[in-house]
Amino acid sequence: MKYIEAQKEEQKGYNEDQLKWIAMQGMIAQAKVAHDKLNMPDQRSRLTVWKFVNSQNFQLFIMLFIVLNMFQMALDFEGAPFEVVMFLRYSNYVFTTVFMVECALKLFAYGTSYF
């Protein structure tokens, strides 16, 4: 019962058109543009890279490498045999290269609009 009274008090002094306008302004203020649509580039070459970077396959590939990198970091231990140390070193180069390529592609695709 108090809700109805509070609602009537809030709407007091406004006509129906004004209340519709207030409701519309609230919807506009709460509207958000999706990140992928907001940062879509205009240039053809950047748009091609942008589509690739935003594809689900690319994102799953990067997520797989993140998980594999976590396992690789967990394999490191004090007194590890030389072969394990060398495997970890070279696999770290692979992970670093993949993440650097991802970074370069995203910087090219998004430009400054992402930051």
Q: 78-106 pLDDT, tens per residue?
A: 999 999 999 999 999 999 999 999 999 99
Tokens of 113: 């609009």
Q: Which amino acid is at 102?
A: E
pTM: 0.66
Q: How many CB atoms lie within 10 A of CB 39?
A: 17
Residue-wise pLDDT tens digits, 38-62: 678 888 999 999 999 989 999 999 9
Give residue 115's pLDDT band: very low, low, confident or very high (50, 70, 90).
Answer: low
53/8: higher pLDDT: 53
What pLDDT score was predicted for residue 19? 81
CA 49 to CA 54: how far, in whole Å? 9
